[in-house]
Amino acid sequence: LILTGVDPLPLRMQRHSDNPPAVAEFPAGHDKVSWVNYAGLPGDRYHQLALKYCPKGAGAVFTFGVEGGDEAGKKIVSEVKLFSHLANVGDTRSLIIHPSSTTHSQLSLDQRIAAGAGPDVIRLSVGIEDPADIIADLEQALAKI
């Protein structure tokens, strides 16, 4: 934070709040995606709570389930160009991870599924890039599975 400065922090946080809903709508309508978990989407089971408790936005992190399981999840991560493949969240850059093959790989399949990190799960932390660029990157990666 010190290196990037605190002056632009409100602008960065506004982009972190504005970008995820637009980005989350894309996989929600894609034929290779079976579900999206993001409280910022009107159809999400936590949407009303997000409106009540997070009036400035539901955050920058969401997950979606990709058809094709483990191999498809790994393929998406390897095919994106704009996203960085990192496990942290809250960066100004958009981040992507396939938890089943990385952060949760030491668990059994049943444990990964119970933890919400099944083979189909992709986790995104949406950064401050142009949402159209983020969506285009996801679109080209999904087209390759």
Q: How confident is the model at residue 17 (pLDDT cuts 50, 70, 90)?
A: confident
Kindly provide the b/e burial profile for residues 87-112, where b requires at least 16 CB atoms within 10 angstroms of the residue's own CB. eeeeeeebbbbbbbbbebeeeeeeeb
Q: Which CATH architecture has domain 9-142?
A: Alpha-Beta Complex (3.90)
Residue 64, SS3? Answer: strand
Between these two residues, 135 and 57, which has the higher pLDDT value? 135
Question: Mean pLDDT throughout 60-87?
Answer: 94
Residues 78-130 pLDDT 10s: 999 999 988 777 778 999 999 999 989 999 999 999 999 999 999 999 999 99
Cα–Cα distance, 72 to 38 (Å, whole number):
21
What is the predicted pLDDT for the residue at 49? 98
Q: Domain spans of the chain?
A: 9-142
Q: What is the per-residue pLDDT across 31-58, written as a single tens digit (0 to 9) for each?
A: 999 999 999 999 999 999 999 999 988 9
Which range has the worst mean pLDDT, 18-27, 65-74, 87-96, 101-110?
87-96
Average pLDDT over every residue of 62-74: 95
Distance CA 92, CA 54 (A): 20
Is the predicted pLDDT of residue 4 greater than 70, yes or no?
no
